[in-house]
Amino acid sequence: MKVVAQIKEPVNQEMELFETKFREAMSSKVALLNRITYYIVNRKGKQMRPMFVFLTAKMLSNGQVNERTYRGASVIELIHTATLVHDDVVDESSKRRGFFSINALWKNKIAVLVGDYLLSKGLLLSIDNGDFDLLKIISVAVREMSEGELLQIEKARRLDITEDVYYEIIRQKTATLIAACCSLGACSVKPDSEDVEVFREFGELCGMAFQIKDDLFDYGEEKIGKPTGIDIKEQKMTLPLIYTLNNCSKSEKRWLINSVKNHNKDKKRVKEVIAFVKKAGGLDYAVQKMLEFKERALKILEGYPESDYRSSLELMVNYVVDRKK
């Protein structure tokens, strides 16, 4: 059995019912909107985020979930989808998971409005059902994601990112949404319990490891073959590069910054940067940090009784760092 199917197994029934509820949550009286949301739903990814919600909830309540759990999963997926639609506009991407993006098919104006619609649908789903505790968790995540994106843009202009600032960017941009999934799962079955904060931290640690893994793919470190160098072309400061900049001579640092700033479209130069970062130990350092986040996440799970749900969450944490794409 594939790893993702294995992770999903203890929540298969919930995920099936969730699909139906999620489609309902997206529906509208506007035909154009329904056409676009139908397109989105049929091109879904692995749906890791709802899985985090259900696995956390079931682990904390002896395998039980309730309507709040389903709403929490729907809200997170609506918000996540909204951010992806908006990201594609910001990044001017024409593809998403191998399919045309919304902005490529329906233009930017419609894509922005669809993103806004999904965002409001998510917030209203919580408000209409009085889930104000869930609403607070998700609203904090939306604020942090926006701040993280803007912080990254601000820092990319100057290329002066320290390791601490990098962690803050990925915490806000990526980890905060996974943290919200896990705390929503906990809050749906055990509101006002310590578990809500414990699982927020668990999700955040998973998210940090997830993003560092993504950064490593840019260097072709895994089985995806050739290094892509996309982050370098986009002047994104990732952990391997930050470590290298902080641990090389002044002249090497000047060459690196000049390469990223002024020669990032030069394929030969980008290859040289990738080779230099590898040689300087930038990849090894990033792998080490990623594994530290993973271990801290697994340590949190050790504090809970063994169950199929805990095993799936452990599998999920390992999958985050072992995945090949």
Query: How many Å apart are CA 229 and CA 175, to the nearest integer?
Result: 23
Supply the pLDDT for residue 225: 46
Report yes or no on 321 lying in a domain: no
Supply the pLDDT for residue 19: 87
Q: For the residues 251-275, what does the mean pLDDT come to?
A: 87
Report yes or no on 315 lying in a domain: no
How remote is the C-alpha of 244 from its chain's centroid? 25
User: Could you tell me which residues are beta bridge partners of residue 96?
Assistant: 99
| Per-residue pLDDT at 210 exceeds 80 | yes
Residue of 220, 216, 140 whose CA lies nearest to 175: 140
Confidence of residue 223 (pLDDT cuts 50, 70, 90): very low
Question: What is the per-residue pLDDT across 87-137, written as a single tens digit (0 to 9) for each?
Answer: 777 666 666 656 667 776 677 777 788 888 888 888 898 999 999 999 999
Element (H, E) at 155: helix 132-158
Q: For the residues 277-302, what does the mean pLDDT come to?
A: 94
DSSP string, 175-236: IHHHHHHHHHHHHHHSTTSHHHHHHHHHHHHHHHHHHHHHHHHTTT-STT-S---HHHHTT-
Q: What percent of the chain has pLDDT over 70?
A: 91
Summary mean pLDDT of the chain: 86
Supply the pLDDT for residue 47: 84
Report yes or no on 112 lying in a domain: yes
| Per-residue pLDDT at 288 exceeds 80 | yes
CATH of the domain at 290: 1.10.600.10
| Per-residue pLDDT at 14 exceeds 60 | yes
Supply the pLDDT for residue 139: 92
Helix (H, G, I), strand (E, B) or coil at 70: helix
| Per-residue pLDDT at 195 exceeds 80 | yes
Report yes or no on 200 lying in a domain: yes
Question: What is the per-residue pLDDT across 16-36, written as a single tens digit (0 to 9) for each?
Answer: 899 888 888 777 888 887 887
- What residues make up the domain containing 120? 3-307
- The DSSP symbol for 2 reads -
Report yes or no on 314 lying in a domain: no
Supply the pLDDT for residue 237: 83
DSSP string, 46-86: --HHHHHHHHHHHHHTTT---HHHHHHHHHHHHHHHHHHHH
Residue of 32, 16, 18, 27 whose CA lies nearest to 71: 18
**Tally of CA atoms within 13 A in the half-sphere of 322 that contains its CB:** 9
Q: For the residues 66-79, what does the mean pLDDT come to?
A: 91
Structure token digits, residue 158: 């100057």
Q: For the residues 58-73, what does the mean pLDDT come to?
A: 92
| Per-residue pLDDT at 224 exceeds 70 | no
Supply the pLDDT for residue 266: 82
Q: For the residues 246-263, what does the mean pLDDT come to?
A: 88
- The DSSP symbol for 100 reads E
Confidence of residue 187 (pLDDT cuts 50, 70, 90): very high
Note whether 200 and 171 are within 8 A (CB). Answer: no
pTM above 0.75, yes or no: yes
How remote is the C-alpha of 111 from its chain's centroid? 20
Supply the pLDDT for residue 81: 83
Supply the pLDDT for residue 59: 94
Note whether 171 and 207 are within 8 A (CB). Answer: yes
| Per-residue pLDDT at 262 exceeds 80 | yes
Question: What is the per-residue pLDDT across 291-307, written as a single tens digit (0 to 9) for each?
Answer: 999 999 999 999 999 99
Report yes or no on 10 lying in a domain: yes
Number of domains in the chain: 1
Question: What is the per-residue pLDDT across 225-246, written as a single tens digit (0 to 9) for each?
Answer: 456 677 777 777 889 999 999 8
Q: For the residues 210-220, what does the mean pLDDT come to?
A: 88
Residues 6+ apart with CB under 8 A from 204: 171, 175, 176, 178, 179
Report yes or no on 317 lying in a domain: no
Quote the Cα angle for 8-12-17, to 5°: 130
Query: How many Å apart are CA 228 and CA 236, to the nearest integer?
Result: 13
Confidence of residue 44 (pLDDT cuts 50, 70, 90): low
Report yes or no on 19 lying in a domain: yes
